[in-house]
Chains A and B, each alone.
Chain A
Amino acid sequence: MNSNRLPYLLILPVTLFLCLFFLYPFIQVAGQAFTNDQGFTFANFERVFSDWKFPISLKNTLLLAAAVVPVQLALALLMATMVNRMKKGRDIVLYIWTIPLGISDLAAGIIWLAIFEQSGFLNSMMHSLGMIERPTSLLSYKSMGMVFLAIALAEIWRATAIMLVILVAGIGLIPKEYYEAAEVFGASPWKRFTRITLPLLRPSLQTALVLRVILAFEIFAVVAALGGTLFPVLMGETYSYQFDLLDSGSAAAIALVILGISIAFTLVILRALRVPKGAQI
């Protein structure tokens, strides 16, 4: 076969597939958001923005992301540096730490429900320690702080692994000579971390943060399992517009809002962690 044409033939299936199931639907979702029976309109957005639940779900989604992502970043960095200097048992520790990578958000929500529900393990533990007489409902509208905490913990538990994997792979790419040189000049472990690891890890940090932040705005099943309707988030609102209210125009409008926030944050992260040309390894 003509090897000029072969590469195009090989990428053709993916390209066609992504055009049909990725680009086209996104054009459609934009179309749906801006149209109704009469044609072009902002009515979908007006309906969504005037819903009393919208500001709450926007606030909840952003607050969760703001609470969860920094903790995950710190935890993943800590775990990655710990793994990096590990000699014995590295494989088994890495396996354990990456287990949540394979666990769905719904399952993670259910796992933490086992801990936080009324007859759950947290209440049982407090009872056996004599801290409480009878089990109290931890996940109710009377204890929104607890609901927030449970959701945040479940998210941190579930999705730190993906950052860990990216960061461990990234640290593996940093040449060992840099550390040896730093050690020769007497740099402390902390100095080595801030002066070598962090700057050279920038591309991986970028990927990890973009991926995590986007996933954080998509939070849905964890919240559904733990908070139910107590704690509205954007993705849950999209789902209820589409499914409970059968209003796909408004669902599309919220989808565009989520999309807009995701793109805005992606650009900010890419800009903030920009890797200067020539500073790449």
Chain B
Amino acid sequence: MSTSLSNTSTVRAGRWVYGASVALLCAWVLVPIYLLLVNTLSSPAAVSGFPKSFVPEFDTGSLEFFASFGGMINALLNSIYVAAITMVLSILIGAPAGYALSRFEFKGKELFRLLILLTRAFPLPLLALPLTVMFIQVGLDDTILGLALVHTTLAIPFAVLITFSLFSGIPVELEEASWTLGCTRLTGFRYVVLPLILPGITASAIFAFVISWNEVFAAAVLTIENRTLTAFLLQNLDTSPLHLKFAGGFILVVPALVFIFAVRKYLFAMWGIANR
């Protein structure tokens, strides 16, 4: 700071480099997505043509082909169902545990946290292999519910840790005050904690949805007739024409863009606490 006068030009150059690298890194993320968009909004002929234009021709041919491709709409719906069930299950099962971790000291708490953290040190999609056998035994094979259960396993550690951090952010005094005013633990939770926590719960539910929506391996192993979109695209990679792949890829990306935007405020709070 004391040498700022003689260094003005270096500082200015530094700031320029800094701004340029921020812009460059933004482009590094955005340009590939833009190129996929160009492909999606071009006619099938243009997609496999050469050389390619870097501006979309706004033709819906590829998307129409995608929509009319046999089984694709079904796969899309399956993806949505599985992700929706995963979302509901992981919050219903995970949130109570998050509450317990934030409000109570109890024997075995460390062991429980270890179990949760342990799940992250394992390649979870591999679970799908033994589960195929188990699911056949109980009649859950090739069902939306069966796959949703596996995806819930992927999402639950996050749900527990995120709700734990959210509940920890709400002073326990608020709850205690409600008890002195005649609330039970349950009604106090319902009228005081729940309204405060709801946006955060929504964010972690959306996160669970994205985890399921994006999952490829377990989906491809566990479903045959009832394929999800990721499994369907993966299965047809060798045979499907380029414009089908690109349109499918684009449909996969769109919810991700929206959802990450919706949860962006919570992203860092989630990971901040998930560190310990």
Contacts and interface: CB of A to CB of B under 8 A. Distances in A.
Given A106-B216, A114-B246, A239-B220, A99 B33 contact: yes
A224 B268 contact: no
12 contacts: A1-B185, A6-B104, A7-B106, A11-B97, A14-B156, A21-B149, A25-B131, A78-B21, A115-B32, A120-B52, A218-B123, A221-B216
Interface of B: 1, 18, 21-22, 25-26, 28-30, 32-33, 35-36, 39, 47-52, 54, 92-94, 96-97, 99-101, 103-104, 106, 108-109, 112, 115-116, 119-127, 129-134, 149-150, 152-153, 156, 160, 185, 210, 213-217, 220-221, 230, 233-234, 237-238, 242, 245-246, 248-249, 252-253, 255-257, 259-261, 264, 267-269, 271-272, 274-276
Contacts of A118: 50
A117 B275 CA distance: 39
Contact of A119 (B49, B124, B134): B49
> Which of B108, B217, B234 has the most chain A CB within a 10 Å cutoff?
B217
Given A28-B133, A107-B249, A115-B32, A82 B22 contact: yes
A216 B264 CA distance: 25
A128 interface: yes
Contacts of B216: 104-106, 220-221
A121 interface: yes
A235 B33 contact: no
A76 B125 CA distance: 25
A93 B222 CA distance: 38
Interface in A28-76: 28-29, 31-32
A173 B271 CA distance: 11
B29 A11 contact: no
A220 B217 contact: yes
Nearest to A107: B252
Given A14-B93, A221-B234, A104 B275 contact: no
A99 B1 CA distance: 36
A147 interface: no
Contact of A99 (B29, B51, B120, B185): B29
A140 interface: no
A162 B264 CA distance: 13
Contact of A225 (B112, B237, B256): B237
A276 interface: no
